[in-house]
Amino acid sequence: MIQPTSGTITPGRSGATQRRQVRTLPLLLPAVILLLLWSILPLLQTILYSFQHYNLMEPPSAYNGGLNYTYLFTDSSTWTAIWNSVVLVAGTLVASIVFGTIIALLLNNDFPGRNIARLMAIAPFFVMSPVAALIWKNLLLDPVSGLAGWLMTLVGFKPIAWFSVYPMVSIVIIYSWRWIPFATLILLTALQSLDTDQLEAARMDGAKGLARLRYIVLPHLGRPISIVVMLESIFMLSAFAVIYTTTNGGPGHATTTLTYMIFIRALNDFSIGSASAAGVFAIVLANILAFFLIRAVSRTLQA
């Protein structure tokens, strides 16, 4: 008598799986419904407000067609805010990837106190954004009492009022200081999985350090770098706390991003309709960016 092998498919197994899924579906429905209500209803309400003349300081709102969107796209401050958002995201990404890669490569070596150095390198990521903003504004970049001003005075230069002269550079520096540790952590973890035998073989074949970095290490870091780009881009699109704590979007509109512009229109101008239109536009932009980033990451992971 022939005994069935372990790889034989038992009849009815797929039917049992389907019945199990049917039994668990009612248990999942409450969570799914709650998630939909939590996300869909506010979105629908925002879209509804974006087509209304809704100002908290005026009589009840009324439908005004697409005037909020017309005002949004004809206002020069909107394009300034979009450009500032692009500069903030791009600047933070470049600094995070470049310095995160360098620090990860350094921390991947053996040296006394390596564990303490790794802890100190990652620690800024756990500092809350308002706290980081206050540290940089009052202790580091202040032209009178800050460390940067004192160092410039020592070498004979005049201290710079960073948040007035170079406001966007200052914001990028603060966010980079917070996000470089995140990139370092991801890239350092990826370096731990790098095949050391491959590096040793390249070294024995005469490959120099830069050649090993270019042809072995950096290609190995391609996937984690794409993950860093995706996650940081999504989080940086909602950057708010540092700008609010340091510059309030100024001077003028120099540091007003799309997120901060929505805040100004909603809570300073009390124009809920205009802020809702800007919010819908921001959601569309974020989803387009997320779509292309996810496709790029998935393509990288499948390579």
CATH number for the domain that contains residue 207:
1.10.3720.10
Number of domains in the chain: 1
Residue 171 forms part of a structural domain? yes
Question: Cα separation of 298 and 291, whole Å?
Answer: 11
Question: Cα separation of 85 and 239, whole Å?
Answer: 9
- Residue 52's beta-bridge partner residues? 63
DSSP alpha helices (H): ranges in the chain?
A: 13-49, 67-74, 76-107, 114-122, 129-134, 147-154, 162-165, 167-192, 196-204, 209-212, 218-220, 222-236, 241-246, 258-263, 272-302
Answer for the pair 182, 232: CB distance below 8 angstroms, yes or no: yes
Residue 67 forms part of a structural domain? no
Residue 47 forms part of a structural domain? no
Domain extent for 184: 72-302
Q: What is the pTM of this model?
A: 0.85
DSSP conformational letter for 63: E
Residue 79 forms part of a structural domain? yes
Residue 19 forms part of a structural domain? no
Residue 177 forms part of a structural domain? yes
pLDDT 10s digit of each residue in the chain, 303 long?
A: 444 444 444 444 556 666 666 677 777 888 888 888 888 888 899 999 999 988 888 887 788 888 999 999 999 999 999 999 999 999 999 999 999 999 999 998 888 988 999 999 999 999 999 999 999 999 999 998 889 999 999 998 899 999 999 999 999 999 999 999 999 999 999 988 887 777 778 778 777 778 888 888 888 888 899 889 989 998 998 899 999 999 999 898 999 999 999 999 999 889 999 999 999 999 999 889 888 888 887 777 676
Answer for the pair 227, 296: CB distance below 8 angstroms, yes or no: no
Residue 182 forms part of a structural domain? yes
Task: Tell which residue, 78, 33, 102, has the closest CA to residue 274.
Answer: 78
Residue 164 forms part of a structural domain? yes
Rg (CA), the chain: 26
